[in-house]
Structure 1
Amino acid sequence: MPLGMESRRIPDQRISASSHSTNVFSTWSPSQARLNLQGRTNAWRPQSNSPNEWLQVDFEATKKVTAIITQGAKAVFTHMFVKEFAVSSSQNGVHWSPVLQDGKEKVGRAAPQPSRSSPGAASSALCSECAHSIFATAVSQAVLFFILRSSQQLLVHVDHVPKSQAHCSRAQHSRQHPSFLSPFQIFKANQDHTGTVMNTLEPPLFARYVRIHPRQWHNHIALRIEFLGCDTQQDY
């Protein structure tokens, strides 16, 4: 089932971001990152188009997250959408676990699917096993630090992760097509500003906090989003 972005069960104060775009004419705040939101400004946009930007949602309790639905937006005549993104999660909002590309922590093996049906219909299949305990997928106490060394180098350091999984990688930045760091799972997202794309998480992600990290975009980063999943009795 949808976890509450579109329906506003997740309140505005539980949605935050690294930054947001604002001027005398418009504000693209994190709380506007709600799937199918309408209006002149109807999405989250960060201050800058950078792989350092992120959108964060606090579910207030641990949830089993089974899928992520994304959507772009439009400003006057400019179409904007996220083409690729990465994900990290946390139980306390301090220690963050990246969803990794290799190893047991890999999430999101399935290809993205255009989401033509309602989120509720999609989630009925995704959440059929909600009552069961499922292996928790994140590196339990990883701390993720992003350090921008220069305009040509972004270093990532993950504490408490085996050396074989902890990498430093160079990211060549460009306005629309920044490369991303190899240890992370990259999710394919939108190809236009109106359609929705659903990425399933296999295995599901158990977390209270989830961050979406845009990695490639068209024109500008702009994001409307919904999470599918359900409550869980498991503690992590």
Structure 2
Amino acid sequence: MTESFGVNVKWITFILIYQLLTYRTLSASVENKPLQECYMGMKSGEIPDNSITATSMYNPYHAPQFARLDAPGTSNHGAWSSLTNNTSEWLQIDLGSNKALAGLVTQGRPTHPQWVVSYTVSCGNTVTDLVSLAKDGKPLVFKGNWDRNTKVYNRFPAVMFCRYIRIHPKTSYDWISLRVELVSADCFASVNPFI
């Protein structure tokens, strides 16, 4: 039966499927913009290599400048990997001036099963006044990756205005290895594209 109470069931099914697909599309975009249009320059190279620093690097093939989202991997490089695998490590990005940040996109190392499972974030106008993003007085721990290449989006609970942003890995799979992009708050209104 395709009609009930004068309503075409096929038409209602089509509308529901259309709304579901539209919702999913909007969930991955901002005001009909792809999320990629909100990226702040890690992937594109607009943020220069010397603005990406870290506490350490495993070797020159895993230097901080390789921490760019979607950086292709070879047998020697493809992500920032720390020298030690502990919670004192961090990756820092200098945006050159204060910018409005909405969140982060992360990936693991493309050529080996290594990634950051959880992390905290701090930011500030200078490296001496960095403040951790917190909830109820405790640093907010973000869920990271579960594989090498899936992009994981995390939106901050509030817009952060800062020049320097640090990502502090807390747990990792096999080793601290990270690729990242910053997401501009200028793109956001009411739609939340983050999972």
**TM-score, length of structure 1 as denominator length:** 0.60
SS in 1 for 2:118: strand
The answer to whether residue 154 in structure 2 is matched with residue 199 in structure 1 is: yes
Distance 2:122 2:156 in 1: 12
Structure 2 counterpart of 1:44, which letter?
Answer: W
Name the residue aligned to 2:115: 81
5+ unaligned residues in a row in structure 2: which ranges? 1-37, 187-195
Contact 2:124 2:161 in 1 (8 A): no
| Per-residue Cα deviation, 1:29-66 (whole angstroms, up to 9, x for no partner) | 00000000013211000100010000000000101001
Q: Report deviation, 1:230.
A: 5.2
Identity %: 33
CA distance in 1, matches of 2:129, 2:97: 16
Q: For 1:95-174, what aligned pairs fall within 5 Å after superposition?
A: 95-102=129-136, 165=137
Name the CA distance, whole Å, in 1 between partners of 2:133 and 2:109.
26
- Cα deviation for residue 92 of structure 1 reads 1.4
Q: Match of 1:90, as an amino acid? A: G
Match of 1:128 in 2: none
Give, in angstroms, the shift of residue 202 of structure 1.
2.3
Question: Which residue of structure 1 aligns with residue 126 of structure 2?
Answer: 92
The alignment's C-alpha RMSD in Å is 1.3
Tell me what 1:49 maps to.
Answer: 85
Residue aligning to 2:61 = 27
Contact 1:101 1:186 in 2 (8 A): no
Runs ≥4 residues deviating over 2 A: none
Q: Which has the larger radius of gyration?
A: 2
- For residue 36 of structure 1, what is the amino acid of its counterpart? D
Does structure 2 conserve the Cα–Cα contact (< 8 Å) formed by 1:3 and 1:230?
Answer: no
1:8 paired to 2:42: no
Report the count of equivalent residues: 147
Hey, what does 2:171 align to over in structure 1?
216
Give 1:209 shift.
Answer: 0.2
Distance 2:158 2:119 in 1: 18
Normalised by the size of structure 2, how large is the TM-score? Answer: 0.72
Task: Please state how far the C-alpha of 1:74 moved relative to its aligned partner.
Answer: 4.1
- Structure 1, residues 49-93: CA drift from partner, whole Å, max 9, x if none? 010000000000101001200000144xx4001110000111012
Question: Which amino acid in structure 1 is aligned with residue 63 of structure 2?
Answer: S
Distance 1:43 1:66 in 2: 23
> Structure 1 stretches of 5 or more lacking a match?
103-164, 166-182, 232-236
Number of the residue aligned with 1:130: none
Name the CA distance, whole Å, in 1 between partners of 2:110 and 2:52: 21
Q: How does 1:215-234 map to 2 (within 5 A)?
A: 215-229=170-184
Name the structure where helix makes up a greater proportion of residues: 2
Matched, 1:185 2:140: yes
